[in-house]
Amino acid sequence: MGPEVTQQRQTPSKVNTFWYEIGMRFYDKSDNNYYPMYSGSYNSNYLNRTYYDMKNSRILMLSLYGRAFSSDGWFLSCLTSNIAGKTTDWDWVYFKQCDPFMDNVPNNLKWFLESRVNDPVSAIYIKNSDKSNLYVTTYNHFGSLFDAKSSQSPSSTTMYFDLSKRYGVCTNSSFSGWYVCNDPKHTRYEDDEL
């Protein structure tokens, strides 16, 4: 009975799925922060939970939605590239419905985190499986995500993301060759949220 009790007390999200909450957010030119939403929009509040799937290199979103009889449900979606593995230079990126557990993850669902500076939380690049950057428009179509193989204008886009709730995800830097992982340091309030 002893070993079975220990097995049941392990946190399934950390043991079986390897999903870690990251709190993916971006900033406008005035340093206001925003979080992407499932619908292709954005919000200044963290309404849709974002996670990084360490095993499959996916960025997942849990979105709350209303159901009949005043109950709420959660909807799972994956950040999906429309240019990975193609010759297209750029295209819009959306969170699209996906299976929580996948054995053979297609390349258009794979994303990699890379730090720009020696900081594992802020100024993160997110790259698709072809190593093309994920961008956010900060001018026309504000808050829309897209990935592009060519460099984009910094006056109307940003490619830097903060992972404000990044507790167990590792990133590496192409500039200095370091590799760092954050240790979980939840506050009591954040533990309750997770």
Q: What is the pLDDT of residue 75?
A: 84
Position 122 scores a pLDDT of: 66
Residue ranges in the chain modelled with pLDDT below 70:
1-17, 66-70, 117-122, 166-194
pLDDT at 165: 72
Which pLDDT value is given to residue 119? 58
Please enumerate in sequence order all residues whose Cβ is within 8 A of that of 35, keeping only pairs 6 or more positions apart, or say none.
23, 24, 25, 42, 43, 44, 45, 46, 47, 48, 50
The CATH number given to 12-193 is 2.80.10
User: What is the pLDDT, as a whole number, of residue 23?
Assistant: 87
Q: What is the pLDDT of residue 176?
A: 46
> What pLDDT does residue 121 have?
61
For 2-33, how does the pLDDT look when each residue is reduced to its tens digit (9 = 90+)? 333 333 333 333 334 678 888 899 988 888 89
Domain ranges of the chain: 12-193
CA distance 31 to 116: 18
**C-alpha distances out from residue 20 to 17, 185, 194, Å:** 9, 13, 10
